[in-house]
Amino acid sequence: MTKKQKIIYWIATGWLALGMLSTGIVQLLKQKEEVTMFTHLGYPGYLLPMLGVWKILGVIAILLPKFPLLKEWAYAGFFFAMSGAVLSHLGCGDAAKEFFGPILLIILTVVSWYLRPADRKIISVNFTV
């Protein structure tokens, strides 16, 4: 991994962590605006705290050293949650500005996942018989 890639990785990961942590806290606290938006998208409000906790735990997983399998699950969870948000906004006919946050977080998720250092990846072992 080059120095440039490492810098890009940490910038993307930092912004991803900040975005997921902030939205996770807002969802965990069930702030009025978040509840209104979530209801507008057709989801029940009781899912907000659960989604918030998962996002916060995902941030911890991608920032902690080691635990590569847990990191894979966290990245996948971030990708599925944000792609689901984009599709939900599309399905409700929302304005393009509503897509900015989730699309940005999808991009940050992919960049962080793709550029993660080798010690944060699952190493596959090929067994031959």
Tens digits of residue pLDDT in 71-110: 999 999 999 999 999 999 999 999 988 889 999 999 999 9
Q: Which domain holds residue 26?
A: 3-114
| Structural domain count of the chain | 1
Residue 129 lies in a domain: no
Residue 124 has pLDDT above 80, yes or no: no
Residue 126 lies in a domain: no
Residue 78 lies in a domain: yes
How would residue 125 be classed by pLDDT, with cut points 50, 70 and 90? low
Residue 62 in contact with residue 71, Cβ under 8 Å?
yes
- Using a cut of 0.85, tell me whether the model's pTM lies above it: yes
Residue 122 lies in a domain: no
Residue 127 lies in a domain: no
